[in-house]
Amino acid sequence: MIFPLRTWGAFLVFALTLFWFGSRAPTGPGWRDGAEINLVAETLSILHPPGAPLHTLLARSAAATAASPERIDLRINRFSSLAIAVAAASLSFLTFGSAPHRGPLSPILALAASAWALAAPGTAIFGSTGEVYAIAALLALWITAASASPSPRPRLLAAYLLGLGLGVHPLLLFLLPLLDWRRGLTVPLIALGASTFLLLPLRSILDPLLDWGDPENFVRFWRVITAAEFSSGLTALQYAEQSPLRTAWISFSSGAAGVGFALACAGSLVAATARDARRRRSLLAALPALLVASLYLGGGIDVEGYLMVPRFVLALGMGRLAQSIPASRMPALGVGVGILASTAACFSALHTVRNPAPGSITPHAEEVLEAIGPRGLLLTDTTVDYFAALHSAHRQGRPVPAIYTPFLSRPWYRRTLRRQRPDLILPEPRDGPITGAGAIAQEIVRRNSLPLYYSPASRPLLPAGWLAPRGPVFRASHLGPPIDEAPVWTPTASRGPGAVIDDQEALRLGLLHASRAIVFAARADPGAALAAWSEAARLRPDDPGTAENLARALMEAGWIDRATQRLDRAIEAFPRRVTPRVLRSRAALLMLDAPSAVEHGRGAIAVAPTDPRAHAALGAALAAARRLDEAATHLHRALELGGADPAVATLLDTVEARRER
């Protein structure tokens, strides 16, 4: 034969896998982060933390092969199908075993390993859409196989591949124990592979369409690649339809998939008991850590995609099992287990591939754009709808309509969306972000007669029987069941001042007055905004955000003394919050009390040393006190931490000019 049998088997697995997943690839961006990933690849922008620069470059190369702009999404989606096909073929090739170690079970277990890996729920979802998990699973498979080689060169290749893999997904960090740390080139090769992260600052300087985190200096670059802004909600368990442990149990151990999981674990344990002590320790450290990290980091949203990586790594254990079973001693048991595993894995794969292919969200996004119009307001609890609308708007060459989401209200996202910044972004209430966001957005819609789009997935954003828009309401059928009735707005705020209300009613009324205050401020009516904030503070005296907004409104109205009293009480009540101290420093400047402004600015930095607002406030106070060198230092620090704030940059230019004179 021109090619050995395992080469033909791997080629057959590659062709069948590529045909199946490639034919299921949608013509537009898929669900989850598909719209953002495809848009980043098309415009060579910066993806959300930790950036995934290697995936961006690879997807960009796939997009460059498209004959027309309409086929770019299809090419990017099929690139994931290509990665899955290469991973399945590599798995078949590696588990078949070399000729001296090939047993009678090798062909069966090689096909069973590929079928079991492809039967993962995450493979059915992310094997046909532009996501990072298919390439991450492929690289994890190659790293594991290369690190097990007795030759030193493949082990060095594993180090380089791991460095490259970090530019796709940080989950590959948990494969570090597999590397041969006794060789001096391991660390330099990891650094060489990780050099793809240099794409982030280099592209950020050129101001791309999406610039997550603006990583032009080292501080912001480090916060991007470490996903520092996502640390508080990394697992996203609040969005899980079921617990990650239950998802893993269904994925690995239910039905026929459990047989493959048992064989994969048995093979991995056989490999862990090898004579090489280094290999044994590394496997026992890497595999459990990889599984636990997949469950924790995947949280409730992408746990299926995260579990693809350990699943492909565990599938290599089937090949090790085939090489270790002495068929001469246990022929019936060995052949029976192999046939059972192959049949069970094939049935599991057939069950998985019968699921409907992930559809494109492009028609949905275009429908949203047409529905809400140029002055519409998009209300959603995820960034999926936002990036879907942004993707379609970019293709159509039209501006993005005003959009509000709770996620986009954070300063991190406001700095990120520099070019395509929504026309309207409102602050997220501290206690009750879901209800509060819906209340504020709907109040603005109601008062300004704007059309509103919301998805059934964000149904909790709309309090039933409380607020409702007057304009038309649109929904996407693929996000959930249709909504037959819109909630009805009831003006409960018409009660007299002596009425007795409970805590829940006070919360609702306080949020209602807060939303009115924001609308009045947007209409340049500071008097009405101040009255609304005063009423909101009366109803919610223990809410720090309301107290801060009331103090800000008092300062804008010229009531500096009353603002300072409010801020002093807020500092005493909430000593670990930085905003009252920043506002107090600004109020002291308005009263021409530079020493007091400096004192409160230093207090703000003591509470939050990495907050750009604290450094900006102290810099302004020091400039007023004519301490120009210190002022320039803190203003520079504010720009490093908070991006290109025009007000801070202007003040810094003024300070530098005074220093030169």
**Is-same-fold flag (362-479; 536-660)?**
no
95: closest CA among 262, 234, 264?
Answer: 264
Q: Are strands 452-454 and 403-404 parallel, antiparallel or unpaired?
A: unpaired
Q: Taking a C-beta distance cutoff of 8 angstroms, is the pair 644, 213 a contact?
A: no
Q: What integer pLDDT is reported at residue 334 of this predicted model?
A: 54
User: What is the CATH architecture of 362-479?
Assistant: 3-Layer(aba) Sandwich (3.40)
What is the residue type of 222? W
Q: What integer pLDDT is reported at residue 535 of this predicted model?
A: 75
Q: Taking a C-beta distance cutoff of 8 angstroms, is the pair 443, 424 a contact?
A: no
The label of the residue with tokens 């301490």 reads 627
Instruction: Please name every residue paired with 454 in a beta bridge, in sequence order, or none if there are none.
Output: 379
Q: Which residues of the chain have pLDDT under 50?
A: 1, 98-100, 232-242, 254-256, 329-330, 333, 351, 353-356, 381, 418-438, 450-451, 454-502, 522
In the chain, where are the structural domains located? 6-229+240-353, 362-479, 536-660
How do residues 62-74 score in pLDDT, each as one tens digit?
A: 988 887 777 888 8
3-state secondary structure of 404: strand
Distance CA 518, CA 528 (A): 10
Q: What integer pLDDT is reported at residue 321 of this predicted model?
A: 62
What is the residue type of 515? S
3-state secondary structure of 403: strand
What is the residue type of 135? I
Sheet containing 377-379: order of strands: 403-404, 377-379, 452-454, 473-474
457: closest CA among 388, 370, 508, 366?
Answer: 388
What is the residue type of 42? E
The label of the residue with tokens 């793809």 reads 196
Give one word for 373, left, alpha or beta, with left for phi > 0 and alpha for psi -120 to 50.
Answer: left
142: closest CA among 112, 168, 108?
Answer: 168
The label of the residue with tokens 């990650």 reads 244
DSSP assignments along 462-527, one per residue: S-TTT---SS-EE--GGGSSPP-SPPPP--GGGS-TT----HHHHHHHHHHHHHHHHHHHHTT-HH
Q: How many CB atoms lie within 10 A of CB 205?
A: 11
User: Count of alpha carbons within 13 Å of 331, Cβ hemisphere only?
Assistant: 2
Q: 503 is written with which tokens?
A: 């805590």
Q: Cis bond leading into 50, ω under 30°?
A: yes
Domain 536-660 fold is 1.25.40
Distance CA 51, CA 203 (A): 12
Residue 375: in which H helix or E strand, if any?
none
Instruction: Please name every residue paired with 474 in a beta bridge, in sequence order, or none if there are none.
Output: 453
